[in-house]
């Protein structure tokens, strides 16, 4: 059982470039979310989804877009990368509302030059 | 969500019990205490959660004081693989996902040989 899979593991971008961080889960979880982790800041919620076709903003959504066309996939798009988006990104999923065990992916380390 | 306070770092000898404290003096009656941990370069991992009764699973035990203002996560026989950052989180179980888990700086536990 693969759980939550994130790709790529590492990425270097130049300022202004765009890219998509991929996240897929094979547990049929309703809820998926994206966090970023910066030194000394803990994890901060970017966007989340409570089901296919439903997304909403978290604490730090600016500069990021998401979509949820299937239950399994929840990609995070950076339309015009900025150095402030240099961070480690984690995708997480859980079974549904009220079920609190979050499963996290292994992370994507992104550097924007 | 109630604010939590954890020590910045702790050391524990391998094979001994690791006791990680968490203060949450403003916790409400319907708020749960959750523990996650993050091993270096990996995504956070769920450990345990509880409301008022002590809880135990295959990973750890959670002891919540009678007034619920503090709790202790116990790793009964710490190993080198338990070296990680441990996060104590307090939140209502059934609240909207828009107000999500708040991962603070946590406690960095070092298990020493």
Per-residue pLDDT of A49-59, as tens digits, reads 988 999 999 88
CB contact under 8 A, A97 and B97: yes
Tell me the CA distances in angstroms from B113 to A15, B12, B73, one per residue in order. 44, 9, 21
For the record, the structure tokens of A66 come out as 């998401």
CA neighbor of A31 nearest in space, from A8, A16, A48: A48
Q: Is the pLDDT of residue A6 over 90?
A: yes
Alpha carbons B15 and B20: distance in angstroms, whole number: 15
Q: How confident is the model at residue B103 (pLDDT cuts 50, 70, 90)?
A: confident
Alpha carbons B49 and B22: distance in angstroms, whole number: 13
Mean pLDDT along residues A32-60: 89
Q: Is the pLDDT of residue B40 over 60?
A: yes
Considering only A20-24, A47-51, B8-12, which range has the smallest mean pLDDT?
A47-51
Alpha carbons B70 and A8: distance in angstroms, whole number: 40
- How many beta carbons lie within 10 A of that of residue A23, not counting itself? 25
Q: Is the pLDDT of residue B63 over 80?
A: yes
Considering only A18-27, A77-86, B89-98, which range has the smallest mean pLDDT?
B89-98
By CA distance, what is A97's nearest residue in B? B94
Mean pLDDT along residues A46-70: 93
Alpha carbons A71 and A77: distance in angstroms, whole number: 17
Res B39: pLDDT: 94
**Interstrand relation of A10-13 and A108-112 (parallel, antiparallel or unpaired):** parallel
Tell me the CA distances in angstroms from A62 to A12, A57, A89, A107, B95, one per residue in order. 20, 9, 15, 20, 24
Q: How confident is the model at residue A96 (pLDDT cuts 50, 70, 90)?
A: low
By CA distance, what is B107's nearest residue in A? A42
CB contact under 8 A, B94 and A97: yes
Q: Is the pLDDT of residue A11 over 70?
A: yes
CA distance A41 to chain B (A): 7
Contacts of A106 in chain B (CB under 8 A): 42-43
Task: State percent of chain B over pLDDT 70.
Answer: 91
Contacts of B106 in chain A (CB under 8 A): 42
Mean pLDDT along residues B31-43: 91
CB half-sphere exposure, B45, CA atoms < 13 A: 14
């Amino acid at each position: 059982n693969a759980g939550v899979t994130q790709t790529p593991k590492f990425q270097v971008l130049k300022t202004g470039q765009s890219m998509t961080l991929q996240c897929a889960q094979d547990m049929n979880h309703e809820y998926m979310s994206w966090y970023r982790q910066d030194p000394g800041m803990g994890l901060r919620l970017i966007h989340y989804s409570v089901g296919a076709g439903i997304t909403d903003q978290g604490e730090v959504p600016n500069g990021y877009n998401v979509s949820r066309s299937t239950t399994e996939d929840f990609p995070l798009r950076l339309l015009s990368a900025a150095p402030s988006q240099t961070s480690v990104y984690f995708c997480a999923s859980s079974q549904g509302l009220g079920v609190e065990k979050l499963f996290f992916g292994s992370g994507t380390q992104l550097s924007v030059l | 969500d109630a604010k939590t306070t954890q020590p910045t770092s702790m050391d524990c000898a391998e094979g001994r019990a690791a006791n990680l404290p968490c203060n949450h003096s403003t916790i409400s009656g319907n708020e749960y205490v959750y523990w996650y941990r993050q091993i270096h370069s990996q995504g956070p991992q769920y450990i345990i959660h509880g409301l008022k009764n002590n809880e135990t699973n295959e990973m750890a035990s959670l002891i919540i004081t009678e007034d619920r203002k503090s709790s202790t996560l116990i790793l009964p026989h710490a190993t080198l693989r338990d070296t990680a950052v441990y996060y104590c989180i307090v939140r209502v179980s059934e609240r909207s996902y828009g107000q999500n888990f708040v991962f603070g700086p946590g406690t960095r536990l070092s298990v020493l040989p």
